[in-house]
Amino acid sequence: MSSLGPQVTHHECEVLVVGSGAGGATTAAVLAEAGHDVLIVEEGPWVEQGSVVPFSLDQMDQQYRSGGVTVALGLPSIAYTEGRCAGGGTEVNSGLYWRPPEATLELWRSKYRIRDFSSDDLLSICEEVEDALSVQKVPGEHTAASDILRRGADRLGWRNDEIPRWMTYPEGAGASEGRRQSMTRTYLPRAFAAGARILCDHRLDRLVRSGRRAMRAELTHIPTGSDGDSPALEQQVTISFRDVIVCGGAIQTPAILQRAGLRHRVGRTLAVHPTVKLAARFDSAVNTPDDVSVFQVKQFAPNISFGGSASHPGLVALALTDNWRDFGEAVTAWPELAIYYAAITSEGRGVVQAIPGVRDPLVTYRLTKRDRDLLGQGLARLAMVMLEAGAKEVYPAFKSAPVVRNRADLATMTSMFSALKASVMTVHLCSTAPMGDDERRCATDSHGLVHGTDNVFVNDAALLPEAPGVNPQASVMAIAIRNARRYCAERAG
């Protein structure tokens, strides 16, 4: 590190990794272990696991971008959330682990012309990831909120299963006492042990390019807690490097590339799993504020899946706000309420666009008619699961929704539903810099090198050519590890 005067600090490294989430942390570990000099820059703070209550509003404030208030404009708009901290989304997410479906990998390989993309290789990387993250099912009893999904689906004869998580459980611990094996506990320590460095609270503002090469990164050091509100405390930082690997997640990565003048197929194909929600009330306490259900219902997969959402009291209140006049009173009984979602695979696509002079990109998303219809079907079937599980009242999250107490109410709810009135949201964001040798469809080559450049790579959820139809973190990690290994093989010595 050197100082270029009172304001600007300068660093040098061989490989700059931007972002420390599922893609960035694995990339840094693989490269550092192969002997590369790696510097990670992470916009958010380092927050020790356990110092913030999981799934709480406090966590959203400290570890989410913009406190979790981010939206893709459209009809309807879709609220989305991104982790913004060391470890990225892996620190705040539900930890539900799904291997990428083999058929999806095969489809991506042929449709996007991805070279050396054998599903056998990727699934064997998944096995390594499962080991490294201690992926396992809950030992012992499930929480009441988990049992609700299983019970309701079983009574309807619908396929459901417990989804394993990246958690360790101390001896004798209960279902909600697991310790999340996020990146700050796994791949980041591995990267540091092999010599990688990290600069937290450092936001990459711009990559400066000369022709096909990125030459320098310009960053702002934002001291923890100021969140950009105290420009006087901010410091300018520059970094020079041989190669840069952008892993800022599917919303920030395309914005970073666009600001560097790299626009070919960048940010035009955002793919998400849109979800609609409901809160269900039972006769006894079912709410586990700091955990989510580990069951998912896959009877209508891949088109529609059901699962449990975070149900902290503040989030219960949020889930009731679409018809607060009729639902609001229920918030006082929050221990008897839990929140569930119906997620769909979406035909629609979104656009991420960096706007000059504005920090966050403009995000839009267009749901198709089929998507909107599926959301309605999903919510109706989810409400049916809740009634079968014994819910006495169901509160669907759309404007003017009725309280659902029985099948007749369910029919009324279905007739009143419109996706345009619903609180649609998503936490699975993919595909804004798709990988593959088909340049008409893809922003990078088959291993993440941005088309038209010699040293700018992407290695995060942006590379997934489409949303995988299952929780995506394992797909992101497996592809990132594959690409990082290829990088090491090509740039050895």
Ligand X SMILES: Cc1cc2nc3c(=O)[nH]c(=O)nc-3n(C[C@H](O)[C@H](O)[C@H](O)COP(=O)(O)OP(=O)(O)OC[C@H]3O[C@@H](n4cnc5c(N)ncnc54)[C@H](O)[C@@H]3O)c2cc1C
Q: Which residues are catalytic?
A: 428
Q: Does 94 bind ligand X (CB under 6 A)?
A: yes
* Cα angle: 285, vertex 288, 289; to 5 degrees: 120
Interactions with ligand X, residue window 353-392 (CB under 6 A): none
Q: Among all chains, which residue has been given the structure tokens 């409901």?
A: 278
Q: Among all chains, which residue has been given the structure tokens 């504020």?
A: 289
Q: Does 84 bind ligand X (CB under 6 A)?
A: yes
- HEC profile for 369-397? HHHHHHHHHHHHHHHHHHHHCCCCEEEEC
Out of 52, 256, 386, 433, the only residue in the binding site for ligand X (CB under 6 A) is 256
Out of 15, 16, 17, 22, the only residue in the binding site for ligand X (CB under 6 A) is 22
Q: Does 93 bind ligand X (CB under 6 A)?
A: yes
Q: Which is nearer to ligand X, 196 or 401 (CB)?
A: 196
Site string for ligand X, 334-353 (x = CB under 6 A): --------------------
Q: Does 30 bind ligand X (CB under 6 A)?
A: no
3-state secondary structure of 247: coil
Judge residue 493's burial from the number of C-beta atoms within 10 Å of its C-beta, 0-12 exposed, 13-18 middle, 19 or more buried.
exposed
Do you know the residue count of the chain? 493
By CB under 6 A, the count of residues binding ligand X is 41
Quick one: which of 289, 306, 335, 279 has its CA closest to 150? 306
Burial annotation 237-256 (CB, 10 A radius, 16+ → b, else e): bbbebebbbbbbbbbbbbbb
Q: Does 426 bind ligand X (CB under 6 A)?
A: no
Q: Does 237 bind ligand X (CB under 6 A)?
A: no
Instruction: Considering only the stretches 3-11, 87-95, 402-410, 438-446, report the one whose residues sit in contact with ligand X under the rule CB under 6 A.
Output: 87-95
Out of 31, 32, 41, 278, the only residue in the binding site for ligand X (CB under 6 A) is 41
Out of 20, 143, 296, 423, the only residue in the binding site for ligand X (CB under 6 A) is 20
Identity of the residue numbered 358 = V
Out of 29, 52, 78, 96, the only residue in the binding site for ligand X (CB under 6 A) is 96
Where residue 458 falls (left for φ over 0; alpha for ψ -120 to 50; beta otherwise) is beta
Residues 351, 74: Cα–Cα separation, whole Å: 11
Q: Does 461 bind ligand X (CB under 6 A)?
A: yes
Q: Does 88 bind ligand X (CB under 6 A)?
A: yes
Q: Does 267 bind ligand X (CB under 6 A)?
A: no
Quick one: which of 179, 185, 144 has its CA closest to 391? 144
Q: Does 81 bind ligand X (CB under 6 A)?
A: yes
The span from the first CA to the last CA of the chain, in angstroms, equals: 24
How near is the Cβ of 18 to ligand X at its closest, in Å? Answer: 5
Q: Does 176 bind ligand X (CB under 6 A)?
A: no
Q: Does 309 bind ligand X (CB under 6 A)?
A: no
Residues 407, 411: Cα–Cα separation, whole Å: 6
Residues 203, 166: Cα–Cα separation, whole Å: 28
Q: Which is nearer to ligand X, 343 or 410 (CB)?
A: 343
Binding site for ligand X (CB under 6 A): 18-24, 41-44, 81-85, 88-90, 92-96, 203-204, 247-250, 252, 256, 427-428, 460-461, 471-474, 476
